[in-house]
Amino acid sequence: MQIQAINRRALEKYREFVGAMDMVLESFDSLDAVIAKVDPKNAAGGWTVATQKELHGYRVRAFEELERLRTIAKKYEAELISREWRI
């Protein structure tokens, strides 16, 4: 037996989850501009900074992981919505 209030709450939590993933995905667009501005030679007093190539690699890896998470969430969407979420 499923309770409608629980289903609504689970659906709301799932929408928040998907919205958060979308927000992170949108932030990747502005990340390229930030990476382009990085100059390891301008690092202040003893600090080391990753190169643009390293930062781009981190970006690509993070994007791939986010896409993998989105794929898994889509695969289990019905199950996530049908169950009560625990905090």
Question: Is 87 a domain residue?
Answer: no
Question: Is 38 a domain residue?
Answer: yes
Question: Is 46 a domain residue?
Answer: yes
Question: Is 58 a domain residue?
Answer: yes
Model-level pTM greater than 0.85? no
- The structure tokens 């382009």 sit at 36
pLDDT confidence tier of residue 87, bands split at 50, 70 and 90? very low
**Higher-confidence position of 64 and 12:** 64
Question: Is 77 a domain residue?
Answer: yes
User: What is the pLDDT, as a whole number, of residue 86?
Assistant: 56
Count of domains observed in the chain: 1
Question: Is 53 a domain residue?
Answer: yes
Indicate whether 46 pLDDT > 80: no
Distance in angstroms (rounded) separating the CA atoms of residues 80 and 5? 15
Segments forming the whole domain that contains residue 68: 4-82
**Higher-confidence position of 35 and 43:** 35
pLDDT confidence tier of residue 47, bands split at 50, 70 and 90? confident
Distance in angstroms (rounded) separating the CA atoms of residues 80 and 76? 6
Q: What are the DSSP calls for 2-65, one per residue? A: --HHHHHHHHHHHHHHHHHHHHHHHHHHHHHHHHHH--GGG--TT-----HHHHHHHHHHHHHH
